[in-house]
Amino acid sequence: MKSDTLHNHPLVTGTLLLTLAGLLSRIIGFFYRIFLSHTIGAEAMGIYQLTVPLHILTISVTSSAIQTAISRFVAQAAVSSSPGASCNNIPPAPYENRHSIRFLLYRRPKNTFCNESCYLSAGLMLSMSLAFFCTIFLYQLSEPIAIHFLEEPRCAPLLQILAFTIPFGAVHACINGYFYGLKKTFVPAVSQLLEQLVRVLSVWIFFEISMEKHNAISLNLVAWGMVAGELAAMLFSVSFLRQKRSQGSRFRAMEQIFLMSLPLSANRVLVNILQSMEAVMLPGQLRLYGYSNSEALSVYGILTGMALPMVLFPSVLTNSVSVMLLPIIAEAQEKKEHSYIVNAVKKTCFYSLFLGFGCTLVFLVFGNWMGEVLFSNSLAGNFIVTLGWICPFLYLSTTLHSIINGLGKTTSTFLLNVLGLSIRIGFVLFVIPHTGMKGYLWGTLLSQISMAVGALLLLLIRRSTGIRK
């Protein structure tokens, strides 16, 4: 790895492939959102969007952090691939005190080595165990969760159907982490595109069948489309696995993955709980502002189902960079190429801000037109114009958080996420009842600025004290 250039590097090729697949997926998803907005309406979209944070929460518990751990361990196993290398490929550098509990947990046994397949199989075993538990839990308790937590009984059947996506998504995520660690992005990229295609086509077919039979359009069909998409992506990913002998102790590899993913998973779970609280409170606070229940759900659906996906559309590039940055930064840390890490931070800041301010300009000029023409909703256009200001800070924080995670400082990203969410929740509780959705949009902008500036300051402090710490 060269510290002065990114040409011919997996970061470039991997990012391009992921970006292309992500862009196509976003385009498909974009027209899918338009289709849903005209088919089921804003209120139904609001009901469906209430289940999304809870679904993301199950992903955080079962696979999200484990995928990150697999990616990091596989990347370092590829570097330390000699027979005498350690099973634990995490360098002691990020943990300053060799007598600390964290260092003892990551101690290196002698004459042991876990290869890439060992980490994948260990991660799959751990993730699937959690996935089956979450599937049963969500399916059995869908009704009380919908009534008492989401405060919307119509979410119960959706939660039952979404429970079936959890094990499929867990397998898919683990295999993606394996290929990300190897810096081979073809399978994750194509599976992402396939998942979106199958989901959209399934829902369209379901809707066509319902209309032919003169049945009412049901939200359940949207959830079944997600199940079909996750199943297709999982089968595609599994088909690309090649039988390779697993070397090393799966139990030891599972222990390593668990120890690394536990704090990261706890961080993401807490963050997603806060996001779920925000999603649940938002319609209620809108009712305090003066909306009826139907109007509150409609406004929430317009925000989360129309405006936000539009504003987040360009983030496909920064998301792709983030996925590739984590294993590459981990590998650079393993090789002690600290100048490369500094160079990556500089280029990340420049390109993220360049893309962000360009997107802000586009949304300011064309935001109202997008709402009127694409969604036939003027309120969506107003939301797009206001949310356009978050782009530079959103893209910057996304990529910088990935670098921080690659350096092993997952607690720092957790604290930054909690800061941002706390700001948003504060605006939901105290500002929305007086100003309506404007208060939420202001809070979203302030939270993104805080997370981006905080991540940048953290990396600057680490540079001044030595990137090895």
Cβ count near 215 (within 10 Å): 11
CA 38, CA 360: separation in Å to the nearest integer? Answer: 27
Residues 6+ positions from 360 with CB-CB distance below 8 Å: 388, 389, 391, 392
Confidence category of residue 389, pLDDT binned at 50, 70, 90? very high
pLDDT in tens, 172-209: 999 999 988 888 888 888 998 999 999 999 999 988 88
pLDDT digits (tens, 9 = 90+) for 304-332: 888 888 888 888 777 777 766 766 776 77
Phi-psi bin for 8: left (phi > 0), alpha (psi -120 to 50), beta? left
pLDDT band at 248, cuts 50/70/90? Answer: low
- Three-class SS state of 214: coil
- Quick one: three-class SS letters along 383-427? HHHHHHHHHHHHHHHHHHHHHHHHCCCHHHHHHHHHHHHHHHHHH
pLDDT > 70 in the chain, percent: 85
CA quadruple 372, 377, 379, 384: dihedral sign: negative
Q: What per-residue confidence (pLDDT) applies to 139?
A: 94
Question: What's the pLDDT score for residue 243?
Answer: 60
- The pLDDT assigned to 94 comes to 40
| Average pLDDT over every residue of 404-424 | 83
pLDDT at position 334 = 66
| The pLDDT of residue 113 | 62
Determine the average pLDDT of the residues in 127-140: 94
pLDDT at 393: 93
| Alpha carbons 192 and 203: distance in angstroms, whole number | 17
pLDDT at 81: 55
Q: Other C-beta atoms within 10 Å of 405: how many?
A: 23
Tens of pLDDT, residues 422-434: 898 899 999 999 9
**Domain segments of the chain as ranges:** 10-465
> Look-up: residue for tokens 């042991």?
112
What token pair was written down for 200? 């959209």
The amino acid that residue 80 corresponds to is: S
Share of the chain above pLDDT 90, in %: 29
Per-residue pLDDT at 202: 93
| Range in 65-69, 217-221, 231-235 with the lowest mean pLDDT | 217-221
Instruction: State residue 105's pLDDT score.
Output: 42
Say which residue, 141 or 114, is predicted with more confidence.
Answer: 141
Token output for 149 = 């937590």
d(CA 324, CA 428): 34
Look at 238 and 103; give whichever has higher pLDDT.
238
Evaluate if residue 352 carries a pLDDT over 70.
yes
Angstrom distances, CA of residue 437 to CA of 290, 292, 430:
12, 14, 12
C-alpha 206/C-alpha 64 separation (Å) is: 30
CA atoms within 13 A on the CB side of 231: 12
Among 44-58, 261-275, 347-361, 388-402, whose mean pLDDT is lowest? 261-275
User: For the chain, how many helices (H) and strands (E)?
Assistant: 20, 0
pLDDT at 245: 62
Distance set, CA 287 to CA 294, 344, 361, 443 (Å): 9, 46, 33, 18
CA distance 450 to 444: 10
**Higher pLDDT among residues 41 and 145, named by residue:** 145
Give the tens place of pLDDT for each residue, 256-288: 888 878 877 877 788 778 777 888 888 889 988
- Residue 4 pLDDT grade (very low, low, confident, very high; cuts 50, 70, 90): very low
For 104-125, write each residue's pLDDT tens digit. Answer: 444 444 435 677 778 888 899 9
Mean pLDDT (the chain) is 81
The answer on pLDDT for 399 being more than 90 is no
The band of 407, judged by pLDDT with boundaries at 50, 70 and 90, is confident
Rounded alpha-carbon distances, angstroms, from residue 411 to 268, 286, 394: 10, 33, 19
DSSP, collapsed to helix, strand or coil, labels residue 11 as helix
For 8-35, how does the pLDDT look when each residue is reduced to its tens digit (9 = 90+)? 555 567 667 777 887 788 788 878 888 8
Res. 169: pLDDT tops 90: yes
pLDDT given at position 86: 44
* pLDDT, tens only, 50-100: 888 888 889 888 988 899 888 888 877 776 654 444 444 444 434 344 444
Mean pLDDT computed over 210-230: 85
Structure confidence at residue 297 as a pLDDT band (50, 70, 90): confident
CA dist list (Å): 151 to 25, 52, 74: 32, 14, 42
Listed residue (435, 128, 353, 119) closest to 251, CA to CA: 119
